[in-house]
Chains A and B, each alone.
Chain A
């Protein structure tokens, strides 16, 4: 369980984190969303005991981080943003070293390390980490964050450098972790990365938490707002008819007319489903494009930061 109470971090008088209050329950997968410079990493660094807050406190399972960092670090698995390892050592040797720092017994160490390397697809990679791509380092970071079998996992921008396959792997890893009833905190500035796995999302803006809720709650916030452009994805079982609606700006049909990417002036999902129904076309998926939503949410909230 993570509790953040009136947390403040100032750099040269400027507040990177501004009176932040946040509670994350056990077993939750919490997505911390915010644009660059919002204070996500600063918050996480204070949570992991790597920097001291200017004021306020962070509690991990009731233990105050700044008072007892060693106890807290035992419970946390952390992957920093822009994660780096010892370039002269292999993935296995890196994890082996960290496992020893955690005091994992030598006889468990190899099995544990191998298992995690298999999970992130780096098992048997002999070369030293110096020769890794950023994405490979990030995969190793995700393995490292689970090394001590922590009850709380904190990942700072875990998908930043991953390719689509890497992102898919990452999501399945998070889902596996979620089954183990661990608490996960993931930060990102990309909503789609967070929306698919999080049970709760917090939006951070200028060091403050401006909105918190489930994915459904957040998307309903903007559903009825006037947005310049809406992207709608349609997927059907049989070929669909060409839509003809005044709100549609463009429509791109693919896959024998069984999928379509529609750009419209407003959210016309109801109209689309009506047309399909009339034409006896069975609908598989009708959704707003996540990138659109993310843009929408972020523009929406960046314009309306409530002054405290």
Chain B
């Protein structure tokens, strides 16, 4: 027999959030940033579309080059425009919503009186999570509706794939913000007061958004992955760069990829060994960088946002990473949502795992907390 505590607490928490000044202020800033970002993005997008239409009209002859560069611009470019702002402001919103949820109860001495009611302790922490979730969902729905209205004002009508992309973008934004909410809620159960909870959360936020990108781009990754394998002595550096990067991946007009191996001189045992080792090395490097990316909800969200904007580009990058994809693998014009989900699976799982882990920690800590 459960008590009715969960519903009552969730409702109160939800109401507290949407009435709180910090929530309203940060949400307003996000709204303003989104609207300005989207208006700018929409204007650019309409220009690009116009250019694209002109280009299509002019060059009916379909050279590979032109079709590669003149793919129809995606509506997602508009969203990607606001992605960076959403990433940082959203994280702040999540932090602001969570960091004092438990410490404030301790500070105002209301926790003891709350727990003296016929409710289970987990209903308190779950209710806080649910209330926060609904407040976030409400904020995102409002943002989504306004975004859609803006698109329509600029007479941009996204097609079904684009709508799916936009939804995925929104869900990722939610998960990213929710991750920071979970981190700060956890800190609120650990810290002795709200001030400390906020400091701890900000430290984690800075590590996740500032330190990890540094690790990814910096020399630290080289330390972790080791040095790149040396090309065979017999070959000169110039050939190394052209051959290795296999820059000759192109998408033909029909969407086919062809890879031209330009070189007989490289067709030696030694070279193939090197090529293989090199591949392994760069894959390892990529894996390390991907791993760090997954650990940061912000980076993860930004990756998803960019991917959704330029799925073809990411697909190609992916292919060039694994050189041994068969020639002429099909590359459809529009990457379907399932392909996208397949590619982004790791990122999405990480974004889901993050809040689950931190919420789990907060739960365990809260259940054991001394009420005095």
Interface residues of A (CB under 8 A from B): 45, 48-51, 70-71, 73-74, 76, 78-80, 82-88, 97-98, 100-103, 141, 144
- Contact string against A for B residues 335-372, beta-carbon threshold 8 Å, 1 for contact and 0 otherwise: 00000000000000000000000000000000000111
Chain B residues with Cβ below 8 Å from A88 are 16, 19-20
Within 8 Å by CB of B110, from A70, A76, A86, A102, lies A86
Closest 6 CB pairs of A and B: A84-B109, A73-B118, A101-B117, A100-B8, A80-B112, A74-B118
Given contacts A51-B372, A73-B118, A82-B109, 18 further A-B contacts (CB under 8 A): A45-B371, A45-B372, A50-B112, A50-B116, A70-B3, A70-B118, A70-B119, A70-B120, A83-B112, A84-B109, A84-B113, A85-B108, A87-B108, A97-B8, A98-B117, A101-B4, A101-B5, A102-B118
For the complex, what is the distance from the CA of A71 to the CA of B20, rounded to whole Å? 34
A48 touches B8 (CB 8 A): no
Can you list 28 pairs linking A and B with CB atoms under 8 Å apart?
Answer: A45-B371, A50-B115, A51-B370, A70-B118, A70-B120, A73-B118, A78-B116, A80-B109, A83-B109, A83-B113, A84-B108, A84-B112, A85-B110, A85-B113, A86-B110, A87-B108, A88-B19, A88-B20, A97-B8, A98-B117, A100-B8, A101-B4, A101-B8, A101-B9, A101-B114, A101-B118, A102-B117, A103-B118
Instruction: Give, as a whole number of angstroms, the nearest-CB distance from A187 to chain B.
Output: 15
A73 touches B117 (CB 8 A): yes
Interface residues of B (CB under 8 A from A): 3-5, 8-9, 12, 16, 19-20, 108-110, 112-120, 370-372
For the complex, what is the distance from the CA of A284 to the CA of B85, rounded to whole Å? 80
For the complex, what is the distance from the CA of A85 to the CA of B116, rounded to whole Å? 13
Chain A residues with Cβ below 8 Å from B115 are 50
For the complex, what is the distance from the CA of A156 to the CA of B117, rounded to whole Å? 16
Give the one of B4, B110, B114 with max A CB within 10 A. B110
Known interface pairs A50-B112, A83-B109; A97-B12 also in contact (CB < 8 Å): yes
For the complex, what is the distance from the CA of A76 to the CA of B118, rounded to whole Å? 9
For the complex, what is the distance from the CA of A254 to the CA of B119, rounded to whole Å? 55
For the complex, what is the distance from the CA of A88 to the CA of B101, rounded to whole Å? 13
Q: Compute the total of residue contacts between A and B using a CB distance below 8 Å.
A: 68
Chain B residues with Cβ below 8 Å from A82 are 109
Within 8 Å by CB of A103, from B4, B20, B371, lies B4
Chain B residues with Cβ below 8 Å from A50 are 112, 115-116, 371
Chain B residues with Cβ below 8 Å from A98 are 113, 117
Instruction: Give, as a whole number of angstroms, the nearest-CB distance from A159 to chain B.
Output: 17
For the complex, what is the distance from the CA of A86 to the CA of B109, rounded to whole Å? 9
Chain A residues with Cβ below 8 Å from B12 are 97
For the complex, what is the distance from the CA of A76 to the CA of B20, rounded to whole Å? 33
For the complex, what is the distance from the CA of A176 to the CA of B87, rounded to whole Å? 59
Chain B residues with Cβ below 8 Å from A80 are 109, 112-113, 116
Instruction: Give, as a whole number of angstroms, the nearest-CB distance from B109 to chain A.
Output: 3
Give the one of B4, B115, B118, B120 with max A CB within 10 A. B118
A101 touches B119 (CB 8 A): yes
For the complex, what is the distance from the CA of A83 to the CA of B110, rounded to whole Å? 7
Chain B residues with Cβ below 8 Å from A74 are 118
For the complex, what is the distance from the CA of A80 to the CA of B116, rounded to whole Å? 9
Q: Which residue of B lies closest to A71 (CB)?
A: B118
Instruction: Give, as a whole number of angstroms, the nearest-CB distance from A127 to chain B.
Output: 15
Known interface pairs A70-B3, A85-B108; A51-B116 also in contact (CB < 8 Å): no
A144 touches B113 (CB 8 A): yes
Q: Which residue of A lies closest to B116 (CB)?
A: A78
For the complex, what is the distance from the CA of A100 to the CA of B4, rounded to whole Å? 8
Instruction: Give, as a whole number of angstroms, the nearest-CB distance from B226 to chain A.
Output: 50
Within 8 Å by CB of B116, from A73, A97, A100, lies A73
Q: Which residue of B lies closest to A75 (CB)?
A: B118
A48 touches B116 (CB 8 A): yes
